[in-house]
Chains A and B, each alone.
Chain A
């Protein structure tokens, strides 16, 4: 189980590193115009226009910038699986240290928040992939995924805040100890 745990972390870190590498390559090195992550929050006309622009820019790995973004969006599904697993895992580990019932309950709620964030993110990606289909680009066929993007950040953000709150505010030492030295017990009938 420990091996599975380690492999899961390595997988998540690997996917994260790949995503960062792709972002640096497209935005920093090849100077693709426009914010890749901000696309879902643009007004629909502007977002459609940007997809059209990307479809006309060649990138050094071959194909267009839009092809590279499409590939990245597909890889993002792996990242989603990774961060949902990590959030659940961290919340689970913290649950076993969190003695305050209300915060313990919130950490359990994090399981649901992580899954909802992942679901919203997946729907956002499906909508974007549809928007990026060759026969939709530059054809004014664009559906904005911004509601799902917004929920993704709300759910994911809430989960992270709960986790950080629990880790930073949990009592460092405590014991459920009797304070009284005098006998409060009564004899048994047995």
Chain B
């Protein structure tokens, strides 16, 4: 760890760290160098990297990512309801029974989709043996979660058994950012230049997710240098966040011994502007959501801005992106599990929603969110069995767990 005095004096260690960050931003960093960089970064470095990726100063990025207006009001309303239920549960000798668990959830719209959809945390909260406290907000950026640090305050107060995090999606697709991290096919293939991303793919366990290599390669060719910088930045952010919780960050001593962290990485979305009007009255909410709540502006339009018009290619791009995002999360978890075994688990939703299961470009229909919630719950209870029922390693693949255990 490089201390602040070293940073001020610009000592060789600090210079080395800066050189590694520059390499990361140039998509020119080796696997060993990224592994060296991971435990060295601090909040300042993350802010510095971010400013380079987004071409904006930190203040502008934070205002871009800020949640305001009606959406924030509805998010808060849903959290208030959940947290009232949490308080009711926790005051009834809940923690006296060791089978009961306290869960703290921080995340985005997969964890808090106000009013219309039943989301993952709604499903998880239905489990009577879990008391779930939620800080999640639809539309929230991972950046906001890290800079806001509300989870730190709640961790200290609640001392939860499990910390759940869902983030990164809005950092990619919020404010049409997607257009900035894809490129036309004529440019250089940045994926081929990035040994870390290639290693992610090589290490991927594809037995349960029906991996399509042709589709992946076709999509990966459209990902720009900034996408890979962002992917590595996510790795550093998640490592920083989770290492802080599990190992106390700089101090090396965790305030929360025994806590486990659960992550998730979304499913392959389908870029679309279709409103999906149909005759099924039970699905009335789909055209409603698509008409009024941003459908098309997250994926389809930004891809078209960069000249990627064919639906098939758009799907391939999202396939490659979400595949790598999940593998990044799995890799980050594995790295932390090497330091502290059995502390990070990943819920892998890839392939669980399918072509017809989406409410809009980013969000599943409630039955699929409920399924993902069930697997989160399953993973939490599997702690009693030392997580022997994971699909592989520290990963619970939603499709596999649902099928195998008939949840």
Contacts and interface: CB of A to CB of B under 8 A. Distances in A.
A179 B401 CA distance: 12
Say whether chain B's binding surface is mostly helix, strand, loop, or mixed. helix
A96 B391 contact: no
B381 interface: yes
Interface residues of B, number: 48
Interface in B117-139: 118, 122-123, 125-129
Contact of B392 (A98, A101, A188): A188
Contact of B127 (A98, A174, A182): A174
B32 interface: no
Contacts of A188: 205, 334, 392-395
A176 B381 contact: yes
Contact of B381 (A2, A99, A173, A177): A177
Contact of B80 (A1, A112, A175, A181): A1
Contacts of A187: 392-393
Contact of A104 (B127, B204, B366): B366
A174 B128 contact: yes
Contacts of A189: 203-205, 393
Nearest to A4: B77
Nearest to A182: B388
Given A174-B127, A189-B205, A109 B405 contact: no
Contact of A96 (B122, B204, B331, B377): B122
A185 B367 contact: no
A178 interface: yes
Contact of B123 (A2, A99, A108, A182): A99
A100 to B, nearest CB: 9
A92 B393 CA distance: 38
A105 B282 contact: yes
Nearest to B335: A190
A108 B389 contact: no
Contacts of B381: 175-178
Contacts of B127: 174-176
A175 B330 contact: no
Contact of B393 (A95, A97, A176, A185): A185
Contacts of A179: 405
A98 B281 CA distance: 20
A185 B388 contact: yes
A95 B122 contact: yes
B239 to A, nearest CB: 14
B128 A175 contact: yes
B227 interface: no
B309 interface: no
Contact of A108 (B116, B203, B204, B382): B116
A2 B76 CA distance: 11
A185 B81 CA distance: 37
Q: By CB atoms of chain B within 10 A, which of A101, A105, A176, A186 has the most?
A: A176
B295 interface: no
Contact of B378 (A96, A104, A176): A176
Contacts of A186: 391-393
B77 A185 contact: no
B390 interface: yes
Contacts of A112: 281, 284-285
Interface in B236-289: 281-282, 284-285
A108 B122 contact: no
Contacts of B116: 108, 111
B129 A175 contact: yes
Interface in B356-407: 366-367, 370, 374-375, 377-378, 381-382, 385, 387-395, 404-405, 407
Contact of B81 (A93, A106, A109, A173): A93
Interface in A137-181: 173-181
Query: Which 9 A-B pairs have CB atoms at the shortest separation, nearest pair first?
Result: A188-B393, A101-B367, A190-B334, A183-B388, A176-B377, A185-B390, A176-B374, A177-B381, A178-B389
5 contacts: A101-B366, A105-B282, A105-B366, A175-B377, A187-B392
Given A176-B378, A190-B334, 7 more contacts: A99-B123, A99-B126, A104-B366, A108-B285, A111-B285, A175-B381, A176-B127
